[in-house]
Amino acid sequence: MTDDDLLRYSRHLMLDEIGIEGQQRLLDASALVIGAGGLGSPVALYLASAGVGRITLVDHDSVSLTNLQRQIAHDMTSLGRLKVESAAARMAALNPHVEVRGIACKADAALLDEEVPRADVVLDCTDNFATRHLVNAACVRHARPLVSGAAIGFDGQISVYDSRSRELPCYACLFPPESGFEDVACSTLGVFAPLVGIVGSVQAAEVLKLLAGVGEPLAGRLLMLDGRRMQWSEIAMQRDPECAICGAG
């Protein structure tokens, strides 16, 4: 750790739970972020500012004017630009010592099988069930912890799905692929702008905890936020032994 690092991350180093060893683990770590929009924006900025050494962003979309209400990694100068390029530029401005790689395509099974094993932790910052299930399945196959968030309207949810433990549920245990959940897009119902910031910030916090070895992760618990009342609730989740994704074998 350089003198510049000691100054940049001094507020982490002051925390007994993190200190120099925990910060060094962050500097040595890699994260895969699927989605560079509403949730991916605060996630990407906080991971970069906290010094996570290698961050890969995956998103096929470009920045539009409707994104700027909530996607804080982008601004007016980003309109028409690929989101992974826009976010990477903002991250570099925050912390030029972090290695950021952008992949401008949809996250399919082949891409995930290539990228998930390279990461220490994976973040689902997407907005559709099909991609969430692909990400979850890849994390189960390659035994990588998954930090998943979702936000629509005034409602948000966050959890950690850690398939490294056979006792913990995966995303499909709670939301089976065959259950027929329908995607609800922000363009249809809207989304309260700060909600994605709150959910994304909690996702970033869970990732930093996992990487630094701090505290207790949200594994086995689903944290839900009612933004109308600003009220949090939590439910315990159980692993489904018959789950088609993590229950086989």
| Residues catalogued as catalytic | 186
Least Cα distance to 58 among 17, 29, 87, 19 occurs for 87
**Count of other CB atoms within 10 angstroms of residue 167:** 9
Alpha helices in the chain (DSSP H): 3-8, 10-13, 19-28, 40-50, 83-94, 109-115, 129-142, 171-174, 186-189, 193-212
Question: What DSSP letter does each residue of 121-144 carry, written as one string?
Answer: EEEE--S-HHHHHHHHHHHHHHT-
CA–CA dist 181, 154 (Å, integer):
19
Q: What is the DSSP letter of 182?
A: P
Residue 8 tokens read as 């940049």
CA–CA dist 47, 86 (Å, integer):
16
Which residues 6+ apart lie within 8 Å of 71 measured at CB?
36, 37, 38, 40, 41, 63, 83, 196
